[in-house]
């Protein structure tokens, strides 16, 4: 069964197996998971045998680092299996409990090996480098040693490091509370769809209703969703405030100037990149303001509201896309990346790497999750929209990035940064758009696809810059000694919405609550990377379109480099310099040109 025509939310048992993950590839059953859990606990007991001995010889240091990597890999597997199963149905408490146990084990592992960095930092830089050169395998921990030396100033004593490691489990509390409220406990009212049918709102159905050509449906869905967040605004405000306080605590514990400095220093990105992104964009909002007004004119609305910002402007050219058709289009779109990439993408689609449809209790949205021992997986809540087809392309970009990274890097260097990850995902979206544009035979189709790309830039670049400004403002408020209240969060969001979207947008009573539904605010300074990555991917896409010699090989080299270098350097491999404003200015200029083209063709 596929749920495309069903008004009721399907149960997992209603979905055909070919549309579902097969997590037994990692653990045949829960009993095998328990065996690995016990094995990891036993391995942790060996950690203390290395304490105080790391400077004795390169062999002892290598063995300690290898043991930590081996434990980490098992912990990753345990958490992956439990969390993925939990995400398939948050009503099943067993897997939530297993997820919590895996998280606790990860915290225990961090505490067990917390002596490593403080002990290594008692060794001078020259000796550390010499020891690394004498490791039995020199390519496993070379980047780790380099990064350790760079971050020397922020590593604390062994006692403090142990306490910080043990505190991680407690620090997950705000995010866990929000996730359970947002995905499991919160219920939304019903509205009447375009045909007068009573339909209960879910987050996925809300997304589809936002694309409705009927403004009444969009408004009703908007009110239904955000009235539910309004009812829980005090709880959500408290959870977000606690999360921000966590960020500030850890930045101060590690002697950083601010939580922003800590977040960006983790991947060696200068804070100037963050400020350049925000400042450059905010100096160039005229094109975005023009787009909002142009939307109002094309939609023939007296006033344009927040729920009118993503519906297709040319609905007569819109069409539903089945999952099978989306797979076909995405596969064809990435053929320019070569046979190797395309064949591996087909393998992912054909081998249950994607859990496709929304079911009762399933985690909302979409994501890709990497597993070094088996393969990456993608969670979708596919609902036959063009937007979901682009989401599929996006998540498969992440998936293939993980696949190539895991294939070409040893486990300690396989995990790439989010800064680079979003390049792979948004480049796939760009390739899909170009693939679809090649099929255009008339201006109406071109308008529809230009609308799609403008909306992508609107959502992935401009919206995320606004979110990044919001995140910076609330962190700075706490760092100044202030407290975050729901009223303050509402006011900040309201004013930023007015600033970014401009005078053409009519504000309603519910837009101020939008911050409350965004889970990324619980991942410290995460959202800016969508914007920086989007700008980088547009620069790389331009190189593809111009046929720049060697760009395919350099791009695949980027995907295969994993976490073996810093992201700014990795992007330089493809000729993109993110320390300048040029990628941001070029992205904004392209957006403005496309807005002008839509205006020329549509009015």
DSSP 185: I
Strands 367-369 and 377-379: antiparallel
Q: Directed axis angle between helix 443-457 and helix 418-437, to 10°?
A: 170
Take residue 382 and report the two structure tokens written for it. 């596919």
549: three-class secondary structure by DSSP: coil
- Give the Cα separation of 331 and 346 in Å (integer): 7
Determine the Cα–Cα distance for residues 262 and 177; give it in Å rounded to an integer. 24
Q: Are 189 and 227 in contact (CB under 8 A)?
A: yes
513 dihedral zone (left: phi>0; alpha: psi -120 to 50; beta)? alpha
Q: Are 570 and 532 in contact (CB under 8 A)?
A: no
**C-beta neighbour count of 431 within 10 angstroms:** 23
Q: Give backbone dihedrals phi and psi of 51, rounded to 5 degrees, phi first.
A: -60, 130
78 vs 98: CA distance, rounded Å: 8
Six-digit token string for 332? 């064809």
145-184: buried (b, 16+ CB within 10 Å) or exposed (e) per residue? beebeeeeebbbebeebbebbebbbebbebbbbbbeebbb
For residue 190, the SS3 value is strand
List the alpha helices (DSSP H) in 113-188. Answer: 116-120, 125-133, 142-150, 158-171, 173-180
Q: List the structure tokens of 445.
A: 């189709």
Phi, psi of 554 (to 5 degrees): -70, -35
Catalytic residues: 395
Name the DSSP class of 316. Answer: G
For 477-510, b where at least 16 C-beta lie within 10 A, e where not — what string? Answer: bbbeeeebebebbbebbbebbeebbbebbeeeeb
Q: Give alpha helix (H) positions in 363-520.
A: 386-408, 418-437, 443-457, 463-479, 486-501
Ordered DSSP codes for 28-91 = SSHHHHHHHHHHHHHHHTTGGGGTT-TTT-HHHHHHHHHHHHHHHHHHHHHHHHHHHHHHH-TT
Distance (Å, whole) CA 18 – CA 324: 11
**Cα–Cα distances in angstroms (integers) from residue 43 to residues 67, 72, 101, 103, in the given order:** 8, 10, 16, 16
Hunting for tokens 């400004």 — which residue is that?
Answer: 469
Buried b (16+ CB within 10 A) or exposed e, 531-570: bbbbbbbbbbbebbeeeeeebbeebbebbbbbbbbbbbeb
């Amino acid at each position: 069964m596929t749920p495309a025509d069903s008004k009721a939310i399907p149960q997992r048992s209603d979905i055909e197996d070919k549309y579902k993950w097969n997590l037994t590839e990692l653990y045949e059953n829960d009993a095998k998971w328990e065996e690995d859990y016990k094995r990891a606990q036993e391995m942790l007991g060996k950690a203390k045998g290395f304490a105080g001995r790391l400077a004795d010889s390169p062999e002892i240091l290598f063995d300690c680092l290898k043991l930590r990597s081996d434990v980490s890999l098992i912990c990753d597997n345990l958490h992956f299996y439990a969390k993925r199963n939990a995400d398939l149905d948050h009503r099943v408490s067993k897997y939530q409990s297993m997820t919590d146990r895996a998280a606790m084990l990860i915290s225990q592992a961090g505490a067990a090996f917390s002596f490593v960095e403080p002990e290594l930092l008692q060794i001078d830089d020259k000796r550390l480098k010499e020891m690394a050169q004498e490791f039995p395998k020199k390519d496993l921990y070379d980047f780790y040693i380099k990064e350790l030396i760079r971050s020397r100033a922020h590593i604390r004593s062994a006692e403090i490091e142990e306490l910080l490691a043990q505190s991680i489990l407690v620090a997950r509390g705000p995010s866990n509370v929000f996730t359970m409220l947002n995905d499991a406990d919160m219920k939304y009212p019903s509205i009447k769809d375009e045909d007068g049918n009573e339909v209960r709102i879910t987050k996925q159905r809300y997304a589809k209703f936002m694309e409705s050509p009927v403004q009444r449906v969009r408004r009703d869905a908007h009110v239904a969703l955000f009235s539910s967040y309004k009812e829980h605004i005090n709880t959500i405000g408290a959870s977000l405030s606690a999360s921000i306080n966590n960020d500030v605590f850890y930045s101060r514990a590690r002697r950083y100037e601010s939580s922003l400095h800590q977040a960006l220093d983790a991947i060696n990105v200068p804070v100037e990149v963050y400020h350049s992104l925000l400042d450059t964009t905010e100096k160039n909002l005229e094109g975005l303001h023009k787009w909002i007004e142009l939307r109002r004119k094309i939609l023939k609305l007296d006033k344009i509201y927040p729920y009118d910002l993503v519906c297709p402007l040319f609905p007569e050219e819109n069409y539903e896309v089945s999952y099978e058709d989306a797979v076909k289009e995405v596969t064809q779109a990435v053929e320019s990346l070569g046979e190797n990439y395309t064949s591996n993408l087909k393998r992912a689609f054909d081998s249950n790497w994607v859990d496709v449809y929304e079911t009762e209790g399933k985690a909302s949205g979409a994501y890709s999750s990497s597993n070094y021992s088996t393969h990456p997986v993608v969670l979708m809540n596919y609902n036959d929209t063009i937007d979901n087809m682009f989401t599929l392309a996006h998540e498969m970009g992440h998936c293939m990035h993980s696949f190539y990274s895991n294939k070409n890097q040893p486990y300690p260097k396989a995990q790439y940064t989010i800064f680079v990850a979003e390049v792979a995902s948004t480049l796939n979206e760009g390739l899909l758009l170009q693939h679809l544009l090649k099929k255009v035979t008339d201006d109406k189709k071109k308008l529809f696809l230009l609308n799609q790309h403008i909306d992508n830039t609107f959502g992935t670049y401009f919206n995320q810059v606004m979110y990044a400004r919001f995140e910076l403002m609330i962190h700075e408020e706490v760092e100044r000694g202030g407290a975050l209240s729901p009223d303050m969060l509402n006011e900040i969001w309201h004013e930023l919405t007015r600033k970014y979207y401009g005078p053409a947008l009519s504000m309603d009573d519910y837009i101020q609550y939008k911050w409350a539904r965004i889970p990324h605010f619980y991942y410290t300074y995460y959202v800016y990377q969508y914007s920086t990555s989007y700008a980088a991917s547009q620069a790389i896409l331009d190189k593809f379109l111009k046929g720049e010699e060697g760009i395919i090989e350099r791009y695949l080299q980027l995907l295969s480099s994993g976490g073996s270098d810093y992201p700014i350097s990795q992007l330089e491999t493809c000729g993109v310099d993110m320390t300048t404003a040029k990628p941001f200015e070029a992205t904004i200029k392209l957006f403005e040109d496309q807005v002008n083209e839509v205006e020329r063709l549509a009015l």
